[in-house]
């Protein structure tokens, strides 16, 4: 039986909040070990809490980045950012959303500085931007954001071509309309014929370090 962590009885009663423990998280991720170690393999956690699953996925991806590209500053910058862009989450509770984003950034910062031994504030700002777009305060059941002005959940796809990146936005409900998309990763890159959702917004192709300037 999967062990879990309860933060408070009230949150369990009101929101059904129960966190999966580290041991079980790792055991479950080992079932898809090959995908967790693909730098650009996309993961969506529809009830991400404060990031128990996503943090472990990020650590695995960054370990691969470090091993392959740790000796090249430019490659380390690019591929570590690609790892960040591949992680998506939806969470109902606002404090968990903030903590999840913070937790993922802290992991990124720790691993990056341990390899490069330098600060790259321009890159770090890009990481924060991506996390703000990929970790959504919303309800995966209603497919809408949470708050006074509920709107359809929108996800950003970040497509890299060499040192350039293209951002396109898609409505989550449209991604789920086709049955085949439910059986493949978010924005499937398997090369098969798949449902192509309507692009809500599209941004210019820019250098990955210029993402913040082109929001």
Token readout for 166 is: 């293209």
What is the value of pTM for the model shown? 0.82
CB 130 within 8 A of CB 158: yes
Mean pLDDT, residues 110-117? 93
The 10s digit of each residue's pLDDT in 159-214 is 999 999 999 999 998 888 754 444 545 555 555 555 567 899 999 999 999 999 88
| pLDDT tier at 51, thresholds 50, 70, 90 | very high
Tokens 């960040």 label which residue?
84
Q: Residue 117: what pLDDT?
A: 80
Q: Please give the mean pLDDT across all residues of the chain.
A: 85
pLDDT: which is higher, 188 or 131 = 131
* Angle at CA of residue 181, ends 18 and 159, nearest 5°: 90
Kindly give the pairing relationship between strand 87-91 and strand 43-45: parallel
- 213 burial via Cβ count (<10 Å: 0-12, 13-18, 19+): exposed
Q: Edge to edge, what strands does the sheet with 43-45 contain?
A: 43-45, 87-91, 135-139, 144-145
pLDDT at 145 over 60: yes
The pLDDT value given to residue 129? 98
Which residue(s) pair with 199 in the sheet? 170
Tell me which residue of 113, 135, 139, 115 sits closest to 124, measured CA to CA: 113
């Amino acid at each position: 039986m999967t062990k879990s962590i309860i933060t408070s009885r009230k949150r369990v009663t009101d929101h059904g909040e129960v966190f999966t423990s580290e041991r079980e998280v790792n055991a479950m991720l080992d079932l898809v070990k090959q995908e967790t170690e693909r730098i650009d393999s996309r993961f969506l956690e529809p009830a991400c809490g404060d990031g128990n699953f996503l943090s472990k996925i990020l650590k695995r991806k960054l370990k691969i980045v470090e091993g392959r590209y740790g000796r090249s500053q430019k490659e380390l910058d690019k591929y570590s950012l690609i790892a960040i862009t591949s992680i998506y989450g939806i969470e109902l509770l606002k404090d968990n959303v903030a903590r999840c984003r913070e937790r993922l950034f802290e992991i990124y910062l720790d691993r990056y500085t341990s390899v490069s031994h330098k600060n790259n504030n321009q890159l770090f700002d890009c990481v924060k931007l991506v996390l703000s777009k990929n970790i959504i305060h919303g309800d995966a059941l209603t497919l809408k954001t949470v708050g006074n002005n509920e709107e359809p959940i929108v996800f950003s796809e970040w497509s890299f071509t060499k040192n350039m990146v293209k951002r396109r936005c898609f409505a989550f409900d449209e991604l789920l309309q086709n049955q085949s998309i439910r059986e493949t990763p978010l924005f499937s890159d398997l090369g098969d014929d798949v449902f192509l959702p309507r692009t809500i917004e599209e941004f210019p192709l820019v250098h990955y370090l210029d993402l913040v300037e082109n929001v």
